[in-house]
Amino acid sequence: MSALLNRLEEDHRRLTQIMGLLEGLLDRFHDGEEPDYELLAELLEYMTDYADQVHHPSEDLIFEQLLAKTDQGQEVLRRLMLQHQALAQLNRRFRESLEGIVHEEVLPRDEVEIQGRELLATLRSHMLLEDNEGFPLAAELLSAEDWAQIEMRAPAAEDPVFGHADPVRFRTIYAQLKNELEP
């Protein structure tokens, strides 16, 4: 298996943690409480800066290579690539709504919550499809040469939360993850 595929699978485990934090904040929002908007903003910034700009483009390179190499899984691979675009739009829309709330725009809370829940549900089903169909197909069909070509073209940025840490930029996420890990 490729180092890139290993990294993407690890990214999915880490994104699951991030989604758990986001879901907890949405639950507070649903209950009429004020969520930690700084944490929400950092979570969405992380999802935009890392998932949309590094993680998904890396996956797209893999899926493009598979589309060029085999007829297997064509429909699934195309769907996964389209979902990357849809996820970026959902994330952007939700982030803009939250920024509106922070700037005291009048937005229906239930509408904003629905946007967040839609983002989470779409991301979860997307990752499940990748884990169950896209990644196994890549592991089975791509050669060492294919992987070398993909890895040369893949974005090289490290995960800013779980990889090469940026504790100033994502301090609220770090604090929350640390609190969850401590007894």
CATH number of domain containing 93: 1.20.120.520
pLDDT confidence bin for 34, thresholds 50/70/90: confident
Using alpha carbons, list the distances in angstroms from residue 149 to 57, 60, 111, 139: 14, 13, 43, 15
Mean pLDDT, rounded, for 43-65: 91
Query: What percent of the chain clears pLDDT 90, i.e. is strictly above it?
Result: 56
CB atoms within 10 A of CB 36: 17
Total tally of structural domains belonging to the chain: 1
Spatial contact of 183 and 33, defined as CB atoms under 8 Å apart: no
Q: Is 12 exposed, middle or buried (0-12, 13-18, 19+ CB in 10 A)?
A: middle
- Measured CA to CA, the distance from residue 22 to residue 25 in angstroms comes to 5
Task: Provide the whole-model pTM.
Answer: 0.87
Residue 56, domain extent: 3-181
182: left (phi over 0), alpha (psi -120 to 50) or beta: beta
Spatial contact of 177 and 17, defined as CB atoms under 8 Å apart: yes
Mean pLDDT, rounded, for 35-51: 84
* Segment 149-177, tens digit of pLDDT: 999 999 987 777 776 666 667 777 767 77
* Segment 116-158, tens digit of pLDDT: 999 999 999 999 999 999 999 999 999 999 999 999 999 987 7
